[in-house]
């Protein structure tokens, strides 16, 4: 089997692409393919079933029977060796390792020539070993500092029958299966440091995006128009101090609340408990929630199962924001749907519920025709407390 390392523009035109990996990177690849006018026809994944991004998920065991028609496979996962075995067993002649950013592709004047599977396996094997080593060292350090990991219960794999109507707004939201478990040990926090913050700030000052590329660009536009300077900001949901660093770069003071355990060694970030975050009315000048609200109540990040978790958090946010204060909110917009238990998609029905009590002051990247899409766009809404 031939393995190609490719940039998006190097993929053959008019290809029907099968994406290997129905995860966050797979979703990013799907969005990039769509923006480039390249048709994605499905995902390969051995851990998930049903659909992802409104496309069918193909089991690796069924790939040989060609359940969907495709021209090439793009790999969108962190570990490739098992994928190579699956593709070879299914008589797939070639696949592509896709690089989404040219900056990440700086080999032979920003290009990598096609390589054989054998040579590439050696390189990937080394990277896998390095990542495994670092992960083992990190986990050992966590145990040394905080003891043996204490894991929370896994979220339910199906919507509880007694909550189905509440979760789907009496059947008005389309239900899709997309199970996701990103719970962490309760006693092993994520640690935010000045070193990490300082590595992000130069990128932010150049308005470089991170994981949510389009959303970050819209947020930069919003911050140019609606400044955070000098404000006390509540960040709702966090597993990386990227948006905290964005606040710091804009001369704001970030306070962070999350269902998971967080610790910081920096005096520029304040980690606060849920009790502290929601206790005092009119406590914050501004609030920021980027790709967090849609997960609230689905259990994927250790949060309690609650059909209205997102709506209740929006109302709590309204309470703790000062009058005239702004919430910078980003959620997936598309046809009203519950992709259980990964996220909600906000169409005209659910979005209207989310906005109750708020004044919609502005938006960046939003248009109503997005309500007819699958929910892969996350615009930024600027909401004001009346």
Does 84 have pLDDT greater than 70? yes
In order, the DSSP letters of 256-318 are: EE-SS-EEE--TT-EE--HHHHHHSTT-EEEEEEES-GGGTTSSTTSPPP-TTHHHHHHHHHH
Does 120 have pLDDT greater than 60? no
Within the chain, residue ranges assigned H as helices are: 24-35, 81-89, 117-146, 164-167, 194-205, 213-225, 242-249, 274-279, 309-320, 348-354
Tally the residues of the chain. 386
Question: What is the number of other CB atoms lying within 10 angstroms of the CB of residue 182?
Answer: 14
Model-wide pTM > 0.85 = no
Is residue 87 within 8 Å of 73, Cβ to Cβ? yes
Sorted by where each begins, the domain ranges of the chain are: 2-122, 190-384
Q: Which of 11-15, 126-130, 132-136 has the highest mean pLDDT?
A: 132-136
Torsion of CA 131, 243, 98, 342, to 10 degrees: 90
| pLDDT (0 to 100) of residue 49 | 81
Task: Give the mean pLDDT of 329-354.
Answer: 96
| pLDDT (0 to 100) of residue 109 | 33
CATH of domain 190-384: 3.40.50.150
CATH of domain 2-122: 3.40.50.20
DSSP-assigned beta bridge partners for residue 343: 339
Equal CATH topology for 2-122 and 190-384: yes
C-alpha span between 322 and 236 (Å, rounded): 16
> pLDDT digits over 1-45, tens only?
566 666 666 777 778 999 998 887 788 888 888 878 889 999 998
DSSP-assigned beta bridge partners for residue 90: none
C-alpha span between 355 and 386 (Å, rounded): 12
> pLDDT digits over 256-301, tens only?
999 999 999 999 999 999 999 999 999 999 999 999 999 999 999 9
pLDDT band at 104, cuts 50/70/90?
very low
C-alpha span between 22 and 176 (Å, rounded): 14
């Amino acid at each position: 089997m031939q393995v190609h390392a490719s940039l998006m523009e190097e993929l053959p035109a008019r290809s029907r692409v099968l994406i290997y990996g129905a995860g966050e990177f797979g979703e990013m690849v799907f969005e990039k393919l769509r923006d480039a006018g390249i048709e994605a026809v499905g995902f390969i994944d051995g851990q998930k079933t049903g659909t992802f991004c409104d496309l069918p998920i193909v089991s690796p065991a069924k790939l040989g029977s060609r359940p969907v028609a495709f021209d090439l496979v793009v790999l969108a996962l962190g570990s490739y060796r098992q994928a190579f075995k699956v593709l070879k067993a299914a008589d797939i002649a070639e696949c592509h390792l896709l690089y989404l950013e040219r900056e990440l592709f700086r080999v032979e004047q920003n290009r990598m020539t096609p390589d054989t599977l054998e040579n590439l396996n050696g390189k990937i094997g080394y990277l896998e070993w390095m990542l495994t080593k670092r992960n083992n060292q990190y986990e050992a350090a966590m145990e040394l500092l905080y003891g043996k990991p204490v894991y929370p219960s896994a979220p339910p794999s199906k919507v509880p029958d007694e909550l189905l109507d509440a979760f789907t707004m009496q059947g008005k939201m389309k239900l899709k299966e997309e199970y996701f478990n990103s719970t962490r040990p309760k006693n092993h926090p994520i640690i935010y440091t000045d070193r990490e913050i300082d590595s992000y700030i130069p990128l932010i000052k150049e308005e470089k995006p991170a994981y949510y590329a389009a959303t970050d660009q819209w947020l930069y536009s919003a911050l140019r128009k609606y400044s955070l300077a000098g404000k006390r900001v509540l960040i709702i949901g966090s597993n990386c101090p990227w948006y905290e660093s964005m606040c710091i770069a804009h001369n704001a003071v970030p306070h962070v609340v999350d269902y998971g355990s967080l610790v910081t060694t920096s005096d520029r970030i304040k980690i606060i408990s849920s009790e502290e975050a929601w206790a005092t009315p009119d406590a914050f000048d501004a609030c920021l929630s980027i790709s967090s609200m849609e997960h609230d109540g689905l259990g994927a990040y250790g949060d309690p199962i609650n059909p209205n978790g997102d709506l209740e958090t929006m109302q709590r946010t309204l309470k703790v924001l000062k009058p005239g204060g702004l919430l910078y909110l980003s959620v997936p917009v598309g046809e009203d749907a519950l992709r259980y238990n990964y996220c909600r998609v906000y169409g005209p029905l659910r979005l209207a519920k989310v906005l109750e009590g708020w004044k919609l002051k502005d938006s960046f990247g939003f248009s109503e025709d997005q309500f007819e899409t699958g929910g892969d766009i996350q615009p930024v809404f600027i909401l004001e407390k009346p």
